[in-house]
Chain A
Amino acid sequence: MSAQAHALVAVLSIGTILFILRLVSRGVLKAKYSLLWLTIGVFVAAMAAVPSLLDTVADALGVSYPPALWLMMGMAFLFVLAVHFSWELSRMEGRVRTLAEEVALLRTRLDDPGPGAEKADLGAGETLDRPESGLR
């Protein structure tokens, strides 16, 4: 690796780590996600510090072209990340749905406590303009 490329990677990785730490300190990024990206930052920084590291690892794994190993690792990481986010999103959607139902049901209950429940203390005008008894 040329000296310029080396410096560029070093600056980029340090910049990434600082950026993530800044996000966490401002409370924008949850710590559990920061851990993920910090790990990546450390990885890249290690590569920048010891350029021969990738070659050594690739050699040990029997990969003849080291950059291919780097790309494969990156893709595997992004894939796992995307699946994780889909999972997280599914869970969120489920929770949002339940909350939406909860809000709607609570609002209905406020308007009309229903059979068996104590009648809410509504103003006279409010109870008058509800033709709800029509179907009872």
Chain B
Amino acid sequence: MDAVAHCVVVIPAFNEELSLPAVLAELRRVVPELDVVVVNDGSADKTERVATEGGATVVSLPFNLGIGGALRAGFRYAVEHGYERAVQFDADGQHDAGQIQNLLRGLDDGADMVIGNRFGSGSDYAVGQTRGLAMGLLRFLTRRLAGKHFTDTSSGFRAVQGSLLERFARDYPVEYMDSVETLISSCRAGFDVREVDTVMHQRAGGQPSNRSFRLLYNYARLLVVIGTSGLRRRAT
């Protein structure tokens, strides 16, 4: 068994029956050596069937937990089944399967987590003004709190391995913005987190998971979490 056999691609999916088949087909074509697990986060559509037909293992949550909840379930699956590495991949087709090897190379180099920067050169990924502003704020906060610069703090295209994977399987925030939160907490806990440039596509189908009202709520929630993380550190 070679190194990649210990790696599983975790795809959280909530009502993604339209885009999921193409994503699974691409993964099978580009990285056929990787196992794929789709975490069906209480979808009301045919996500579960589409995923099974696409050849993935399906973990079906009994109700919708939110992106972070689905991810922790996926990480738990990975740890319970003896995988050493997990790649987090979107079900909506915005990530490029061809870039997975890039992330894994970072893990080979000894990183605990590698984040795919969606704004790498050659990427056709663009965000609106408000979103861009918010991301700038997150960049600034992350830099201050993690002590390291990351261009794309909220990227959901990541690879994680070893003890950090086990940590994620145990303890992972349930709600959206989980990526920023875990990025900061992982850095603060002393894990080696790196960022590599990746190519990104615009969403292929489904709905963006962030309506502006929800986004605002999640920013506020995140600020509280970040603000209190300093307290927690002193307490322990």
- Listed in ascending order, the chain A residues whose CB lies under 8 Å from chain B are 93, 97, 100-101, 103-105, 107-108, 112, 114-116, 130-136
Contact present for B36 and A101 (CB under 8 Å): no
Q: How many residues of B contact A (CB 8 A)?
A: 29
Instruction: Find chain A residues with CB under 8 A from B128 CB.
Output: none
Contact present for A104 and B73 (CB under 8 Å): yes
Contact present for B57 and A100 (CB under 8 Å): no
Known: A97-B65, A108-B58, A114-B81. 12 other contacts (CB 8 A): A101-B65, A104-B59, A104-B60, A105-B76, A112-B57, A115-B81, A131-B53, A132-B52, A132-B55, A132-B57, A135-B35, A135-B36
How far, in Å, is A88 (CB) from chain B's closest CB? 17
Query: What DSSP secondary structure best describes chain B's contact surface?
Result: mixed
How far, in Å, is A10 (CB) from chain B's closest CB? 46
* Bound-state Cα–Cα, A100 to B174, Å: 12
Say if the beta carbon of B208 comes within 8 Å of chain A: no
Say if the beta carbon of B80 comes within 8 Å of chain A: yes
* Bound-state Cα–Cα, A99 to B34, Å: 28
Q: A114-B81, A135-B32, A135-B36 are in contact. Are A108 and B69 (CB under 8 A)?
A: no
Contact present for A108 and B57 (CB under 8 Å): yes
* Bound-state Cα–Cα, A103 to B76, Å: 12
How far, in Å, is A109 (CB) from chain B's closest CB? 8
